[in-house]
Amino acid sequence: MNAKRYLRLLGVQLKASGLLALQYRADFLAEGLTSLAWTFTALAPLFVVFNARPSIEGWTFQESLLVVGWFTLLQGVLEGAISPSLTGMVEHIRKGTLDFVLLKPADAQFLVSTQRFLPWRAVNVLSGVGLFVYAFVSLGRWPSLPGIFASLVLLATSMLILYSMWILVVSAAFFVVKVDNLTYLFTSIFDAARWPSAVFRGSLAWVFTFIIPLALMTTFPALALLGRLPWTWLVGAVVGAVAFAAVARWVWLMSIRHYTSASS
């Protein structure tokens, strides 16, 4: 795979999405404000819970804000960069028009994963960064350089896992007529990532750590910023993310073999 070529293709897709969004500036502004409003909505449960107690399972309000920050940031990545393109792929499969993608001289998974972006979701990313700053100002200290580096590594692994999970969900469209319920279920489950993983007990704790690794996406990066993440967990997160991506790639390739175009 020619890295420069694919970076150039990604730049073209980003530019096209940006220009399309700017054609309707009022909508662009309205959607950005809506994204900002949803960020504050995500904080509401946190205020309610911590209004009655100083900490939950060893997490203070300020520390929990870091988890919400990562949740907000990743939600922006999911809804702005991952979901729009892959939802469009489902429409291609339904209409039998995926041929136009498969026949192009580039990797089909890359093309369907970058066909559309929603630039206004960058507001979520900025909101997440704002929550990080506010949390550490409230804590009266700043994260260490190793903690920042570890959190950036975990950001990459989190996005890779989030993308891989979405690939697995939409690959079901090759076998069933509708996957809307699956996508709604996935986004509903992802909402649980706004809470530190320590609040979950029993089977939920195991599921949200190993099956649907929400803990890795939001709690681990928050622990890294706080300087409380063991290095073995960081290594395990990287290995797990790579393995998850490999499984998603294999499922994608197997699913394509079951695709029947409109001309078949």
Say what the pLDDT of residue 264 is: 47
Task: Indicate the pLDDT class of residue 169, thresholds 50, 70 and 90.
Answer: confident
pLDDT over 60 (residue 61): yes
pLDDT attached to residue 177: 61
Rounded to a whole number, what is the largest CA-CA distance in the chain?
64
Residues 6+ apart with CB under 8 A from 231: none
Model pLDDT for residues 30-57, shown as the tens digit of each residue:
766 777 777 777 777 887 778 777 888 8
For the chain, what is the mean pLDDT? 84
Please tell me the predicted confidence (pLDDT) of residue 158. 93
Tokens representing 258 are 């079951």
Q: Tell me the per-residue pLDDT of 123-149, one tens digit each, with 9 for 90 and over.
A: 888 888 999 999 999 999 999 999 999
The DSSP call for residue 229 is -
- Report whether pLDDT(262) > 60: no
Domain ranges of the chain: 3-258
Q: How many CB atoms lie within 10 A of CB 7?
A: 10
More confident residue, 107 or 93: 107
**Statement: residue 197 has pLDDT above 70:** yes
- For the beta carbon of residue 8, count every other beta carbon within 10 angstroms: 11
More confident residue, 122 or 249: 249
What pLDDT score does 260 carry?
66
